[in-house]
Amino acid sequence: MGGKSTPTAKSPGKESNIKTGAQIVVDTLVDLGVDTMFGYLGGVVLPLFDRLYDAPFNFIIPRHEQGGCHMADAYARVTGKPGVVIATSGPGACNLITGLATAMMDSVPLVAFTGQVRTDLIGNDAFQEADTTGITRPITKHNCIVKDVKDLARTIREAFHIATTGRPGPVLIDLPVDVEVSQCDMSKVSQEIDLPGYRLKHRGHARQITNAAKAINKSDRPVLYVGGGVIAADAAQELRALVEKAHLPVSMTLMGLGAFDQTRPESLDMLGMHGSAYANYAIQECDLLVAIGSRFDDRVTGKVKAFAPQAKILHIDIDPSSISKNVNVDIPVVGDAKDILPRITELLEYRERKEWFEKIANWKKQFPLRYDPGDKVIKPQYVIERLWEATGGNAIVTTGVGQNQMWAAQFYKFHKPRHFISSGGLGTMGYGLPAAIGAQVGQPEAVVVDIDGDSSFNMTMTELSTAVQYELPIKVVILNNGYMGMVRQWQELFYNKRYSQSCLKNPEFAAVAEAMGAVGISVDKPQDVDKAIKQMLSQKRPCVVDFKVAREENVWPMVPAGKSLHEMDGLDIMESMA
C-alpha cells in the first residue's frame, strides 16, 4: 500500500486528504516538531518504516530496543524535548519495558510507538503478539491502542501533550499493522486533543504561596531539598533567584543535581543515603524543609519517621499525589515550579542566618567528601575529580548504577541543569552507555562522558557499535573494579564479606572497543590517569577508557537502609583520611 493516494471524494469547501496510518504518524510527528527518533525495525512496523525511509528525521537504530529507549530518554533529559522511540510488537515491545520504567520513575517525557498484530488477530496468540498495553500500563504515564485510523492523529497529539505536561512521563501508543496501512480522509477527522480526565494545575494557589513565603521568612534554620522536578520545570534560574534573595542552603537529590550550582557556597551537594554529611545533618537539624520537585524517596529520607524531625515541611510539586505520600506536609503548594518560585521569591526577605550558616560551614569543614588518593592503585574518585578538572565541570555526565553513579554524583560538581543524566528512581544498570548516545545526539557539540561501572557497562556495551555507526564522539570512563561494586560493598558491610555472585570475569574492554571500531584505552596506574583523560577528550571517535581501579573501595558516607540520615557510617574513615 502506498502512502500517496489521489484524492477521490471532495467534501464541499474542504480538500479531501487521504492518508495511510503510517503517513499520519510521520506527518503528525513532523507537525509536532519531532526531528530525531530512535527505533528498531520488525515485521508489523514495516509499513511505518517504509514511510520513514524518506521522512525528515534523524533516525538512530540501536542494537537492542532497551538501548533505543534509554537513548530516547537521555535525549529528552538533555534537550527538554520529548524523546521518541519505535519498536515492533511482541519481543520489541517487551524489550522496551526497562526503558519505559526508567523514564516513568524519573518523570522523563517520552513517546513510544509499538507495532501490534492485525486487529483481527489480537488475542489469538499470533506470532510476535504480546499484550503491550497490558504489560506497560503500570510503567507508563498513559498508554493506549489505536484500533481505528481515524483516531490516530488525535491520539498522537494527546500522547505528546500528556508526556510533556504536568509531571512528565512516558506514553505508549500501540499500533496494529492494519491501522498503519488503512486509509483515512484527514479532512473528515478531528485532530483536536480530547482528554476530559487530564487536567493540569500550573498556577500555584496564591494563599499557599503567601504561607510558603511567610514560613521561609520566619525560619531560622531552613534548608532546601531540591529534586528533578526543578530541572523538568526548567526552573533552575528561578531557584537561584530565590536562594540568593532569601539566603538559603540548598541540598539536592540525585535527580536534582545541576538544578543549583554546586560550586556556590549555598550548595550542600547531595543529600540521602550517599549524600554529604553536611547535607544530611542540615536536614536533621533544620526547622523548615523546603522540598521542591522532590518526592521523599526512601533513598533520600532514610528512616522516614525520623526524617527532618524538627522541621515544618513545605512541599512544592506539580503532582498532587506526591504531596503527603510518604511524609505529612504542613504547607503544600501544587503547581509548576517555574510559576511558583518567582512568586514566592517576590515575598521573601534576605536574612543572614549567621548561626545556621556557621553551623553548616563547620560540618563542611569537618566532614568534606574525601577519599585516600594513595599512589599505587587508581582510586575511582580520583578519576572523576581529574575528569571534572579536565572538562571544567562542563561535560554532560551519564552513569551506570551503583558505586560509579554515587561517586559521579559526589565528585563531579555540576553547575547547570540537564548535565547529570542518571537512572535515579529505577536504578537501571546499563543505562549509562545508551544514555550517553542519546545525550550526544541531543547535544552534538557537548562533551558527553559515561561514567560507568564494569558490570553496568557489560549490560549494554553492544550499543558501542551504535555510537560508532553514527560517529558520535562519546567517552566512556569505566571504573573497573571487577565487581558489582555496590552489591559487593553491601555484602562486605552487611553479609560478612561473603561475596556471593558479585564478581564477574570481564573482557578486555579496550580490545572490545577497538573491535567495535571505537578507541580503547586501558589504564592501571594513577600517574597515567591525566594522560588517558586528555587522550580520551581529544578523540573524534567514541572512546572507552578502562580504568582498573581499587577493587574494594567503598562509597562513604552511607546511611544504612532503615537508619536515620544522621546515622551515617564511614565518617570516621573519612576523618582518618584528613
Q: Which residues bind other proteins (CB under 8 A)?
A: 133-134, 137-138, 141-142, 144-145, 162, 195-198, 319-321, 324-325, 328
CB of 196 to other proteins, least distance (A): 5
Q: Pick the closer one to other proteins by CB: 145 or 369.
A: 145
Listed residue (332, 338, 345, 349) closest to 205, CA to CA: 332
Q: Pick the closer one to other proteins by CB: 242 or 334.
A: 334
Q: Pick the closer one to other proteins by CB: 2 or 197.
A: 197
Q: In what order do the strands lie in the sheet with 142-145?
A: 58-60, 36-39, 83-87, 110-116, 170-176, 142-145
Is beta strand 183-185 parallel, antiparallel or unpaired with respect to 18-20? antiparallel
Q: Pick the closer one to other proteins by CB: 30 or 195.
A: 195
Q: Pick the closer one to other proteins by CB: 322 or 554.
A: 322
CB of 402 to other proteins, least distance (A): 26
Listed residue (274, 318, 329, 264) closest to 296, CA to CA: 329
Amino acid making up residue 557: P
Return d(Cα 374, Cα 386) in angstroms, integer.
14
Return d(Cα 198, Cα 247) in angstroms, integer.
37
Q: In what order do the strands lie in the sheet with 267-270?
A: 267-270, 250-252, 222-226, 288-292, 312-317, 331-334
DSSP 137: G
CB of 223 to other proteins, least distance (A): 25
Q: Pick the closer one to other proteins by CB: 171 or 555.
A: 171
Question: What are 241's three cell numbers?
Answer: 533567584
For the chain, how big is the Rg over CA atoms in Å? 25
CB of 137 to other proteins, least distance (A): 5
CB of 144 to other proteins, least distance (A): 7
CB of 246 to other proteins, least distance (A): 30
Q: Pick the closer one to other proteins by CB: 79 or 326.
A: 326
CB of 320 to other proteins, least distance (A): 5
SS3 300: helix
Q: Pick the closer one to other proteins by CB: 145 or 478.
A: 145
Whether the Cβ atoms of residue 123 and residue 145 lie closer than 8 Å to each other: no
Return d(Cα 50, Cα 79) in angstroms, integer.
28
CB of 143 to other proteins, least distance (A): 8
Q: Pick the closer one to other proteins by CB: 11 or 328.
A: 328
Listed residue (32, 95, 55, 90) closest to 434, CA to CA: 95
CB of 104 to other proteins, least distance (A): 11
Peptide bond into 320 cis (omega under 30): no
